Amino acid sequence: MSSKIDAEALKRFVQSVNNFAKTGWGSSEANTKKKIIEPLLNLLDWDPQGDDVILEYSIRIGSRTVEVDYALAPDRHPLVFIEAKAFDSPLIEDYANQIISYCKVDEVRWAALINGHYIKIYDAKAGRTEKDCIISEIDLTNPFNKILDLELLYRDSVTSGKLNDKIKLLRDTQDAISKLEENQRKLEDDFANSIISVIGETSPESVYRISKELAQKTVDLFRAMVTSKSEPPKLSHGEVNEVSRKELSQKPSGEVLLCPSKIEGVDFLRKYNAWAFVNVSEKRTPRYLALYVGKPESSLLYFGEIKNISKPIQSPNDIKEFQNEDFETFKPGKRVIYLKQDSLVKLSDPIQLYNKKMAPRGLVYTTLDKIITAKKVEEL
């Protein structure tokens, strides 16, 4: 499907966002507006200098007047309110509830909250809180798998009155992806049965590994086809993006499982987007994984969001996706930590170890806040 958003212009915009993150201007709301938010409006076919975008739109609430940063207002009639924050300012729930309340006062249905790194889109008629109203959250440093979401704010989508239809399509798409992910194991079995029906039971282990890979590729391909209308920059196998720890502050707070590793373990992490084999209590549900890499790095170097943690594994045959040479540390009862797709990053400002006697020897539970602010590994 062709996209209303120009693919090359989007790539240039994403590059400008990533460049802005390195400038040191992240605390400036004015710079965030000028360098990111207004170029984004241009990308979405709105002219920030034109009559259809009203800056500092005034709303009367009781005896006081408040101002919304941007109102997308064809013919001076507001259809979308946009509240802007500085790049380094987290988009907390209070900000969301505030812009939603402004919408209700002025009978504007659609709202967006943006800090240049992330943009959240809301349907103010859906309820009173962020949880009730949120439609989508888009990472502007890598929005390529959410083009459909971003196009909700495209000028034609807003002015044509078709936004309801587009949101229904978006939610139907999200439901379809969820159903496919939930039934991925059934896909594996179906692929395996189809292959066995052709070649027989000649190599069951190979068949099930192939089937697992086919099922995963089917889910990934479907997700890419229905959510991405623009070609994203491709990472080569095992390559990951670099981010600063300050950028992690945009993520929800939560528990982090810190795992120590030799330098050789990095290849496994990047190869499988997973970490194994670990004794994680089934009573703990950490949100994130952090990897401390030993000599010569001696630093906490990798970070990712946990998708799920396997049940205790009794046999290598229980895991089909790993190659035989990657079972060296396997012991019955240990578990595998799977990361969310594209969540694994390498820290551009890793946390260094200063006292080798304090190097992590086993699993450590810490918090995202400590990962962001720590000056040395010993503080974790």
C-alpha count within 13 angstroms, C-beta hemisphere, residue 146: 21
**CA 167/CA 91 separation, integer angstroms:** 22
Closest by CA to 279, choosing from 307, 256, 257, is 257
Ranges of the chain whose pLDDT falls below 50: 1, 229-237
Give me the amino acid identity at 341: Q
Query: Domain tally for the chain?
Result: 3
Angle at CA of residue 202, ends 199 and 203, nearest 5°: 110
Q: Domain for residue 176, yes or no?
A: no
Q: Are residues 138 and 86 in the same domain?
A: yes
The per-residue pLDDT for 3 is 65
Query: 12 and 156 in one domain?
Result: yes
- 368 and 250 belong to one structural domain: yes
Residue 236, pLDDT score = 41
283 and 198 in one domain? Answer: no
232 lies in some domain: no
Residue 13's domain comprises 7-167
Specify whether 112 is located in the same domain as 68: yes
- Structure-token pair, residue 12: 């240039």
Among 115, 139, 167, the domain boundary falls at: 167
What per-residue confidence (pLDDT) applies to 234? Answer: 42
Residues 95, 202 within the same domain: no
Residues 144 and 20 in one domain: yes
Q: What integer pLDDT is reported at residue 241 of this predicted model?
A: 83
| CATH number of the structural domain spanning residue 146 | 3.90.1570.30
Tell whether 172 is covered by a domain.
no
- Single-letter code of the amino acid located at 19: N
On whether the CB atoms of residues 142 and 241 are closer than 8 A, the answer is: yes
Residue 93 lies in a domain: yes
Answer yes or no: is 248 within a domain: yes
Q: Is the dihedral of CA 157, 159, 165, 167 positive or negative?
A: positive
pLDDT in tens, 186-199: 888 888 888 888 88
Residues 83 and 145 in one domain: yes
Q: Is 234 part of any domain?
A: no
User: Is the Cβ–Cβ distance between 215 and 320 less than 8 Å?
Assistant: no
Residue 174 within any structural domain of the chain: no
Residues 153, 270: one domain? Answer: no
Q: Are residues 126 and 33 in the same domain?
A: yes
Each residue's pLDDT tens digit, 47-75 = 999 999 999 999 998 899 999 999 999 98
Cα 291 to the chain's mean position, in Å? 19
The reply to whether 356 falls in a domain is yes
Percent composition of the chain: helix, strand, coil (DSSP 3-state, to 5): 40, 25, 35
Do 23 and 64 lie in one domain? The reply is: yes
Residues 256 and 194 occupy one common structural domain: no
336 and 274 in contact (C-beta within 8 Å)? yes
